[in-house]
């Protein structure tokens, strides 16, 4: 016995020695190329109770992956240390998801009774060239009773700007409700992915809170993680929103390793590839370029570190709650086996899943037969049930289609058509619309406006634009239908023709003639970037035509208010003929305070205070367009006051000439320009009662556009306007493609979408 034992001991020793040798060899071999990674290990990885895991590190230790990952551990007084990234406090870092929580500063705007001005604190955060980006899970949250706040990207190079309007009808705080943040006292808007710059500014020139400051002292705006946010009406009447968390609100940032754009690119560069751990995987960042690392399935730890600090196997058998096993559990690298005890069979991962196997063969055969017969029976029954259900579903759809039709006043419409004749009006079928738009296929979308989505389609051989309204108000059914019938009879050269509607969907669908989708907005953008020259005559003509169209809508027996007058809604047909579009869905119900839409820069401040759409609101918006045509400037910019304030001040000071577009200023036509400027200022007067009617505006503009002087103005060297619109179309589209990236388009679109809010 003794010699045998000795041999075994010797063998074991030899084996162990070899293992050590092997491991030594392996570790030196592995360690060599990664020496840099090893030294990066931080000794102190917490600050003020917050874990700062690698690739992050505390700046004084210089152990982070790069300077972008340095976190400052700062004494905030009384020896209380807190981690800071730039000037924002870090609340936590999530290695697995590539996210971090920080405290964002709340921007505020308060009325100062002493200086009789608005005292605003507007924060910004510049994350350019850092591993961080603003996560699109945050919401831009605005609290206030007369507040229009903007969130924007960097000036000049940024691509994004959006606004959020919060109001209380006539400053009445009691209209706001706890827990509801949808425009009354509180509003929220989403932000796009990939932003790395954040700035806030308030529109204090049109939102003067001097009248309500004793009830609502301050307005606030902050980009914050809204998952835990519940609006309280006391936020309006006290300083609570700001003071609860010391002027800050939690926000989520996404971070990633941004030294390479994708995983593949990073893996090519061995030494800088950040996923050092053996059992780690690389994920492309979905939020901007770069990548993040994660442990492979069944492993946990820090994927950015090697060895024992990196990804380790999870012993699943120790965590029976997360990895249930009701039999024999055995851990494997990256996985585990869970089997039934000997003598039983089944699925051991479900309770009672293991059964002793005792049935004899004969019984099993018998059971098999019975099961077969039953299965056949059930199969047949099931098929019948499915057939029945299908026919039920079809009937339900038909019933629903009919319900929608009734709900949207279809019956009313039919009766009206019987009485008044259906000249020019078409009632389209659900099927017809679905086929034409290929079931509302995204490829058919030509625009998304404040009132709904517009699709392009061909119906009965005619190109049409199909627009799905947002839901209409039950109580306005009658008016809506009347308006439709009236609009269909409108045959005005400067109004996009309404061909008919379909009432068999959740929301009414309007069908318009299709007009080339070049808009006044695009034309002005080309003019601003000096790639197209629009003469004074053309500007006045487009203004006159648009005004004429709006005047016509206002003068109908049942007046139609547009509600969203802006350059993007003035289409330009062949020969730059203006055609006003995007009307018809507009519904506003006084009792429910439904606010249909509006675009920052063009919204009448009166409307924001009263929440009531009147003809005067359209006139204000039109006034802004007129100013835009005269000055060539955009209505909003971060660097300056709103265009309307600038313009009105310049009119008052008599310095308006400095503001005018130098392309149209000429002594020969100064009289006309001056009259147009006076007209514009009349349209912008607050309160709205003093504004001229649309008909007067149209008449004056028509006179000005035809004035002799206008045609005597010298023409510039490049007059492209002489070309036919189709020629221009091809030229414009080339220009337009490059101008798309300028962000003007996205700004416009996003601003529209976010300032509308439902009740
Ligand atoms: C880590 O740093 C914090 C703050 O600088 C300090 O309070 C703590 O004692 C340090 N811990 C160790 C282990 O050095
Ligand atoms: C990383 O792994 C963890 C745990 O398996 C998981 O919760 C997380 O969603 C993963 N992250 C990504 C970006 O896949
Ligand atoms: C704004 O508030 C700050 C601090 O409360 C004060 O110092 C400043 O004078 C105020 N500015 C105006 C214009 O009221
Ligand atoms: C933001 O930071 C980047 C990089 O540090 C810098 O180039 C840029 O000018 C900054 N932007 C502003 C508006 O300060
Ligand atoms: C706000 O309105 C008050 C009273 O109407 C006026 O005195 C004050 O100048 C206005 N402030 C601004 C910034 O427009
Ligand atoms: C949400 O709020 C509750 C209570 O204030 C808090 O316990 C919880 O940690 C918060 N959750 C997040 C994700 O901030
Ligand atoms: C918001 O809170 C911060 C920090 O407490 C404070 O400095 C700031 O003055 C407050 N702002 C307002 C408008 O109360
Ligand atoms: C990167 O490392 C892998 C294994 O770690 C090796 O096979 C490959 O040759 C290396 N590539 C380069 C470019 O160094
Ligand atoms: C990362 O993105 C690139 C380019 O978009 C793609 O080719 C690659 O398959 C992606 N890799 C992973 C791991 O998702
Ligand atoms: C991207 O952002 C979303 C939402 O903000 C987040 O859930 C996701 O984990 C992020 N993905 C990566 C790879 O950073
Ligand atoms: C056992 O049951 C679990 C949970 O229902 C299921 O996910 C797993 O696939 C089953 N395993 C086998 C071998 O059927
Ligand atoms: C204009 O219409 C064309 C197709 O007719 C479409 O490709 C383009 O995206 C549209 N442009 C806008 C701004 O809607």
Tens-place pLDDT, residues 236-272: 988 999 998 899 999 999 999 988 888 988 888 878 8
Q: Count CA atoms closer than 13 A to 230's CA, side-chain side.
A: 3
Q: Is 284 in the pocket of ligand 2 (CB under 6 A)?
A: no
Q: What is the model's pLDDT at position 142? A: 92
Mutate to test the pocket of ligand 5, among 111, 116, 117 (most ligand atoms within 8 A of CB): 116
Q: Is the pLDDT of residue 365 over 90?
A: no
CA terminus-to-terminus distance, the chain: 91
Q: What pLDDT sits at residue 29? A: 38
Higher pLDDT, 454 or 225: 225
Q: What is the pLDDT of residue 743?
A: 28
Highest mean pLDDT among 102-106, 324-328, 513-517, 607-611: 102-106
Instruction: Identify the weakest region by mean pLDDT among 19-23, 81-85, 545-549.
Output: 19-23
- Nearest atom, ligand 2, residue 96 CA: 1
Task: Quote the pLDDT of residue 363.
Answer: 66
Contact 274 CB / ligand 7 (< 6 Å): no
Side-chain half-sphere exposure of 556, counting CA atoms within 13 A = 23
Mean pLDDT of 375-397: 80
Each residue of 213-226: pLDDT tens digit? 888 889 999 999 98
Query: What is the mean pLDDT of the segment spanning 287-302?
Result: 87
Ligand 12 surroundings by CB, under 6 angstroms: 446-447, 517
Residue 500 backbone zone (phi > 0: left; psi -120 to 50: alpha; other: beta): left
**In angstroms, rounded to a whole number, what is the distance separating the alpha carbons of residues 542 and 355?**
83
Q: Rounded to an integer, what distance in angstroms lies between the CA atom of residue 500 and that of residue 644?
A: 37
Three-state secondary-structure class, residue 57: strand
Nearest CA to ligand 7 atom 8: 247
β-bridge pairing 70-75 and 57-58: parallel
Name which residue sits closest to atom 11 of ligand 1, judged by CA. 44
- Proximal ligand: closest to the CA of 648: 5
Q: What is the separation of C-alpha 199 from the centre of its chain, rounded to a whole number of angstroms? A: 16
Return mean pLDDT, the chain. 78
**What's the pLDDT at 473?**
59
Residue 124 is predicted with a pLDDT of 92
Of 87, 125, 126, 134, the one to substitute when testing ligand 4's pocket (max ligand atoms within 8 A of C-beta) is 126
Model pLDDT, residue 697: 94
Name the residue at shortest CA distance from atom 5 of ligand 7: 246
Q: Sign of dihedral through CA atoms 712, 718, 722, 728?
A: negative
Q: Mean pLDDT, to the nearest integer, of 435-457?
A: 80
Confidence of residue 448 (pLDDT cuts 50, 70, 90): low
What pLDDT is attached to residue 751? 31
* Distance of CA 307 from the midpoint of ligand 7 (Å): 47
Question: What does each C-alpha distance from 365 to 344, 356, 362, 522, 634 come to in angstroms?
Answer: 20, 18, 5, 78, 83
Residue 647: pLDDT band by 50, 70, 90 thresholds?
A: very high
**Pairwise pLDDT comparison (124 vs 726), residue with the higher score:** 124
Question: Which residues are designated catalytic?
Answer: 564
**Ligand 10 atom nearest 287 alpha carbon:** 1
| Ligand 11 pocket, residue 350 CB under 6 Å | yes
For a mutational test of ligand 1's pocket, the pick from 46, 62, 84, i.e. the residue with the most ligand atoms closer than 8 A to its C-beta, is 46
The pTM of the whole model exceeds 0.85:
no
Q: Which ligand is closest in space to the CA of residue 338?
A: 11
Interatomic CA distance for residues 460 and 433, integer angstroms: 11
Q: What percent of the chain has pLDDT over 90?
A: 20
Query: Which pLDDT score, from 0 to 100, does residue 512 have?
Result: 87
Report the range of poorest mean pLDDT among 43-47, 249-253, 417-421, 460-464: 417-421
Separation of CA 224 and ligand 6 centre (Å):
13
Q: How confident is the model at residue 145 (pLDDT cuts 50, 70, 90)?
A: confident
Strand partners, 480: none
Domain 520-742 listed as CATH 1.10.510.10:
yes
Sign of CA dihedral 55, 58, 63, 64: positive
Which of 115, 119, 202, 242 to mutate for ligand 3's pocket (most ligand atoms within 8 Å of CB)? 119
Q: Would you place residue 475 in the very low, low, confident or very high pLDDT band (cuts 50, 70, 90)?
A: low
Confidence band of 415 (pLDDT split at 50, 70, 90): confident
Q: Between 330 and 250, where is the model more confident?
A: 250
Question: What pLDDT score was predicted for residue 419?
Answer: 64
pLDDT beyond 70 at 279? yes
Give the per-residue pLDDT at 676. 94
Pick 638 or 665 by higher pLDDT.
Answer: 665
**pLDDT recorded at residue 461:** 84
Q: Where are the domains of the chain?
A: 99-255, 263-313, 318-356, 410-513, 520-742
At residue 24 the predicted structure's pLDDT band, cuts being 50, 70 and 90, is very low
Report how far ligand 10's centroid is from the alpha carbon of 289 (Å). Answer: 12
Question: What pLDDT score does 611 carry?
Answer: 64
> Could you read off the pLDDT of 83-102 as tens digits, one per residue?
999 999 999 999 989 999 99
> How far apart are the C-alpha atoms of 67 and 61, rounded to whole Å?
11
Ligand 8 mean position to 33 CA, how many Å? 10
* pLDDT value at residue 746: 30
Q: What is the pLDDT of residues 561-608, one digit of tens each?
A: 887 788 888 988 888 889 998 776 654 433 333 444 556 778 787 776
Distances (CA, A) of 759 to 179, 189, 518, 612: 14, 15, 33, 13
Judge contact between 501 and 491, C-beta under 8 A: no
Look at residue 444 and tell me whether its pLDDT is greater than 80: yes
What's the whole-number mean pLDDT along residues 533-539? Answer: 86
Cα of 695 from ligand 8 centre, angstroms: 76
Nearest one of 376, 399, 379 to 387, comparing CA atoms: 379
Q: How far is the CA of 651 from the centre of ligand 5 (A)?
A: 19
With a Cβ cut-off of 6 Å, ligand 3 is lined by: 112, 115, 117, 119
Determine whether 732 is exposed, middle or buried from the number of CB atoms within 10 Å of its CB (0-12, 13-18, 19+).
Answer: buried
Averaging pLDDT over each range in 60-64, 245-249, 452-456, which range is the top one?
A: 245-249
The vertex-580 CA angle with 577 and 586, nearest 5°, equals 175
Residue-level pLDDT at 474: 63
Question: Taking CB atoms and a 6 Å cutoff, what residues make up the pocket around ligand 9?
Answer: 262-264, 282, 284
Residue 341 confidence (pLDDT) above 90: no
> DSSP assignment of 500-523, as one string?
EEE-SSSS-EEEEE-----BHHHH
**Distance in Å, CA 129 to ligand 4 centroid:** 8
- What is the rounded average pLDDT of the residues 455-477? 77
| Contacts of 283 by beta carbon, 8 Å cutoff, 6+ apart | 263, 291, 292, 293, 294
pLDDT value at 742 more than 50: no
Of all protein residues, whose CA lies closest to atom 6 belonging to ligand 2?
A: 96
Q: Which stretch of 69-73, 398-402, 655-659 has the lowest confidence by average pLDDT?
A: 398-402
Query: Among all ligands shown, which has an atom nearest to the Cα of 33?
Result: 8
pLDDT, residue 150, reads: 86
In the prediction, which pLDDT does 714 show?
59
Which CATH number is 410-513's, of 3.40.50.150, 3.30.200.20, 3.40.50.10330, 3.30.70.270? Answer: 3.30.200.20
């Amino acid at each position: 016995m003794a010699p045998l034992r000795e041999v075994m001991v010797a063998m074991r020793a030899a084996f162990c020695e070899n293992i050590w040798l092997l491991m030594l060899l392996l570790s030196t071999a592995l360690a060599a190329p990664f020496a840099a990674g090893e030294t990066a290990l931080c000794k102190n990885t917490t600050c003020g109770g917050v874990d700062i895991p690698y690739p992050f590190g505390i700046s004084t230790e210089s152990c982070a992956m790069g300077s972008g990952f340095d976190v400052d551990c700062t004494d905030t007084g009384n020896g209380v240390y807190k981690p800071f990234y730039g000037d924002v406090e870090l609340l936590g870092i999530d290695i697995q998801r590539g996210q971090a929580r920080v405290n964002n500063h709340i921007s505020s705007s308060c009325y100062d009774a002493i200086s009789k001005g608005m005292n605003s604190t507007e924060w910004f955060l510049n994350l350019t060239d850092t591993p961080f980006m603003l996560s699109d899970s945050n919401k831009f949250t605005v609290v206030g009773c007369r507040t229009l706040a903007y969130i924007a990207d960097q000036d000049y190079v940024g691509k994004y700007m959006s606004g959020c309007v919060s109001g209380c009808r006539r400053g009445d705080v009691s209209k706001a409700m706890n827990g509801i943040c949808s425009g009354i006292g509180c509003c929220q808007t989403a932000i796009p992915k990939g932003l790395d710059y954040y700035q806030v500014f308030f529109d204090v020139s049109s939102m003067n809170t001097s009248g309500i400051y004793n009830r609502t002292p301050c307005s606030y705006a902050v980009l914050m993680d809204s998952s835990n946010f519940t609006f309280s009406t006391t936020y309006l009447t006290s300083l609570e929103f700001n003071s609860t968390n010391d002027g800050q609100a939690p926000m989520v940032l996404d971070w990633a390793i941004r030294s390479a754009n994708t995983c593949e690119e990073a893996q090519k560069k061995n030494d800088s590839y950040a996923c050092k751990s053996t059992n780690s995987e690389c994920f492309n960042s979905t939020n901007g370029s770069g990548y993040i690392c994660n442990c492979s399935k069944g492993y946990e730890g820090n994927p950015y570190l090697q060895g024992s600090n990196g990804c380790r196997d999870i012993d699943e058998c120790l965590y029976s709650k997360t990895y249930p096993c009701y039999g024999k559990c055995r851990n494997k690298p990256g996985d585990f086996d869970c089997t039934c005890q000997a003598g039983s069979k089944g699925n051991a991962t479900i309770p009672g899943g293991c059964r002793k196997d005792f049935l004899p063969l004969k019984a099993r055969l018998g059971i098999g037969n019975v099961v077969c017969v039953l299965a056949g029976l059930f199969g047949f029954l099931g098929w019948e049930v499915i057939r029945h259900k299908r026919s039920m579903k079809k009937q339900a759809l038909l019933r629903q289609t009919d319900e929608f039709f009734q709900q949207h006043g279809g019956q009313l419409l039919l009766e009206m058509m019987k009485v008044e004749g259906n000249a020019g009006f078409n009632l389209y079928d659900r099927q017809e619309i679905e086929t034409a738009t290929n079931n509302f296929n995204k490829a058919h979308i030509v625009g998304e406006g404040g009132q709904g989505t517009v699709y392009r389609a061909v119906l009965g051989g005619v190109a049409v634009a199909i627009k799905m309204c947002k839901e209409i108000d039950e109580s306005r059914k009658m008016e809506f239908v009347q308006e439709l019938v009236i609009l269909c009879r409108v045959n005005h050269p400067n109004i996009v023709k309404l061909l008919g509607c379909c009432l068999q969907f959740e929301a009414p669908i309007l069908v318009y003639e299709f007009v080339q989708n070049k808009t006044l907005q695009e034309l002005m953008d080309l003019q601003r970037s000096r790639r197209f020259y629009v003469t004074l005559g053309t500007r006045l003509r487009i203004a006159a035509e648009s005004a004429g169209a709006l005047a016509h809508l206002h003068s109908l027996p049942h007046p139609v208010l547009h509600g969203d007058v802006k350059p993007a809604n003035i289409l330009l047909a062949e020969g730059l003929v203006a055609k006003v579009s995007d009307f018809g869905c507009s519904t506003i119900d006084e009792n429910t305070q439904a606010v249909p839409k509006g675009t920052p820069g063009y919204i009448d401040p009166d409307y924001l205070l009263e929440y009531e759409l009147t003809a005067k609101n359209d006139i204000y918006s039109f006034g802004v367009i007129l100013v835009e045509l005269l000055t060539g400037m955009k209505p909003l910019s971060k660097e300056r006051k709103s265009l309307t304030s600038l313009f009105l001040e310049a009119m008052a000071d008599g310095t308006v000439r400095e503001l005018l577009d130098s392309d149209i200023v000429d002594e020969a036509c100064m009289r006309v320009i001056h009259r147009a400027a006076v007209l514009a200022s009349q349209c912008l007067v607050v309160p709205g009662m003093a504004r001229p009617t649309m008909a007067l505006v149209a008449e004056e503009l028509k006179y000005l556009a035809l004035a002799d002087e206008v045609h005597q103005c010298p023409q510039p060297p490049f007059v492209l306007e002489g070309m036919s619109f189709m020629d221009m179309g091809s030229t414009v589209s080339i220009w337009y493609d490059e101008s798309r990236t300028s962000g003007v388009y996205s700004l416009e679109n996003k601003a529209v979408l976010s300032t509308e809010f439902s009740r």
